[in-house]
Amino acid sequence: MKLRQLLQGLEIVGCAGDADREGEVSSVCYAASQCGKDSLFVAIPGLAHDGHDFIGEAVERGARYIVYSREMTFPDGIVAIRVADSRRALGRLARNFFGDPSSELTLVGITGTSGKTTVSYLLESMLSAAGFGCGVLGTVNYRFGGKVLPAPNTTPESCDMQKILREMADAGVTHVIAEISSHALDLRRVDECDFDLGIFTNLSPEHLDYHRDMEDYFRAKKRLFAELLALSNKPRPQKAVVNADDPWGQRLVREAAVPLLTYGLEGQSDITVAREEHSLDGIRADILLTGRILPVTSRLIGRFNLSNILAATAAATLLGAEPAAIEAGIRNLRQVPGRLERVQSPAGIHVFVDYAHKPDALTQVLETLTQLKQKRILTVFGCGGNRDRAKRPLMGQTATALSDLTIITSDNPRREDPLAIIGEIEAGVDPKEIEKTNSETPDFIAGRRAYTVIADRKAAIDAAIGLAGPGDIVLIAGKGHEDYQILATKKIAFDDRVAAAEALHARFAGCATPVFSVADVLAATGGQLAAGNADTLIYGISTDSRTVRPGNLFVALTGERFDGHAFVAGAVDDKAAAVIVAAGSGIRPETIGMRAAVIVVEDTLRALGDLANAYRRRFSIPVVGLTGSSGKTTTREMLCSILALERNVLKTEGNLNNLIGLPQTIFRLTGEHDIAVLEMGTNTRGEIERLARIAEPDIGLITNIGPAHLAGFGSVATVREEKGDLFANVRKTGTTVVNLDDEAVCEAANRWSGRRVTFSMSAAADVGLSDIRKNGVRGAGFNLLIGKAAHRVEMKVAGIHSLYNAIAAAATALACGASVEAIRRGLALFTPVSGRMEIVRLQNGAYIINDAYNANPASVREALLTLKDLKNGHNAYVFLGDMLELGDAAPEMHRKVGLLLATIGVAAVFLQGDFASVTAEGARVNGLDEGRIFLLKDDEEALAFLKKALRKGDWVLVKGSRRMKMDRIAARLIAEVGVAGTQE
The whole-angstrom separation of Cα 499 and Cα 501 is 6
d(CA 391, CA 379): 17
The mean predicted confidence, pLDDT, of the chain is 93
pLDDT classification of 981: cutoffs 50, 70, 90 = low
Q: What integer pLDDT is reported at residue 291 of this predicted model?
A: 81
Sign of CA dihedral 317, 320, 324, 329: negative
DSSP characters over 382-402:
---TTS-TTHHHHHHHHHHHH
The Cα 382–Cα 384 span in angstroms is 7
Q: What is the pLDDT of residue 984?
A: 38
The pLDDT, as a whole number, for residue 525 is 98
79-83 sheet: strands from edge to edge = 12-16, 79-83, 65-68, 39-42, 27-29
Per the CB < 8 A criterion, the answer to whether 844 and 818 are in contact is: no
**Nearest Cα residue to 333 out of 344, 322, 341, 345:** 341
If you count them, how many residues does the chain have? 984
User: What is the percent of the chain with per-residue pLDDT over 90, rounded to a whole number?
Assistant: 80
Q: What is the pLDDT of residue 295?
A: 86
More confident residue, 719 or 690: 690
Of the candidates 742, 771, 773, 772, the residue with the CA atom closest to the CA atom of residue 758: 742
State pLDDT tens for residues 419-473: 999 999 999 999 999 999 999 999 999 999 999 999 999 999 999 999 999 889 9
Structural domains in the chain plus CATH codes: 3-97 (3.40.1390.10), 101-332 (3.40.1190.10), 341-508 (3.90.190.20), 515-611 (3.40.1390.10), 621-829 (3.40.1190.10), 838-982 (3.90.190.20)
Determine how many CB atoms are found less than 10 A away from the CB of residue 927: 9
User: Where does the pLDDT of residue 494 fall: very low under 50, low under 70, confident under 90, or very high at 90 and above?
Assistant: very high
Q: How far apart are CA 320 and CA 236, in angstroms?
A: 11
Residue 19 has a pLDDT of 62
Is there a cis peptide before residue 514, judged by omega within 30 degrees of 0? yes
* 838-842/979-982 β-pairing: antiparallel
Distance CA(804)–CA(760), nearest Å, equals 8
User: CA-to-CA distance for 44 and 20, rounded, in angstroms?
Assistant: 23
- State yes or no: pLDDT of 597 exceeds 80: yes
- Cα(135)–Cα(462) distance, integer angstroms: 37
Residue 474 to residue 359: CA distance in whole angstroms: 18
Predicted pLDDT at 982: 46
CA distance 961 to 694: 28
Could you report the per-residue pLDDT of 601-611, keeping only the tens digit for each?
999 999 999 99
Q: Over range 963-974, report the average pLDDT.
A: 93
Q: What is the pLDDT of residue 18?
A: 66
Using CA atoms, how far apart are residues 770 and 783, in angstroms rounded to an integer? 5
pLDDT at position 706, please? 86
Residue 361's region, left for phi above 0, alpha for psi from -120 to 50, else beta, is: alpha
- Residue 983's pLDDT is what? 44
Residue 173 near residue 105, CB atoms below 8 Å:
yes
pLDDT in tens, 187-240: 999 999 999 999 999 998 887 778 889 999 999 999 999 999 998 988 877 799
| Closest of 633, 766, 625 to residue 699, by C-alpha | 625
- Mean local confidence (pLDDT), 771-794: 91
Mean pLDDT of 94-102: 98
User: For residue 624, what are the CA distances in angstroms to 300, 701, 702, 733?
Assistant: 19, 8, 11, 13
Average confidence (pLDDT) over 833-861: 91
**Residues sharing a CB contact under 8 Å with residue 803, sequence separation 6 or more, in sequence order:** 761, 769, 772, 780, 782, 795, 797
| SS3 letters across 432-484 | CCEEECCCCCCCCECCEEEEEECCCHHHHHHHHHHHCCCCCEEEEECCCCCCE
Cβ atoms 545, 583 nearer than 8 A: no
Sequence-separated contacts (24+) of 266-272 with Cβ below 8 Å = 268/244, 269/244, 269/245, 269/310, 270/314, 271/310, 271/313, 271/314, 271/317, 272/310
pLDDT for 940: 92
Nearest to 678 by CA among 609, 742, 743, 746: 609
Please state, in angstroms and rounded to a whole number, the distance separating the CA atoms of residues 601 and 640: 36
- Residue 233 has a pLDDT of 85
Q: Where are the beta strands (DSSP E) in 670-788?
A: 675-679, 699-702, 735-739, 755-759, 767-774, 780-786
Please give the DSSP secondary-structure letter assigned to residue 275. E
Contacts of 790 (CB under 8 A, 6+ apart): 770, 771, 783, 784
- Cis before 156 (ω within 30): no
Question: In the 8-state DSSP scheme, what is residue 856?
Answer: -
DSSP codes of every residue in 130-141: TT--EEEESSS-
pLDDT tens sequence across 495-543: 999 999 999 989 988 888 898 999 999 999 999 999 999 989 999 999 9
Hey, is 280 helix, strand or coil?
coil
Query: What are the residues facing 538 on neighbouring strands?
Result: 516
The stretch 170-175 carries a mean pLDDT of 97
Instruction: Please write the tens of the pLDDT for every residue from 301-325.
Output: 999 999 999 999 999 999 999 998 9
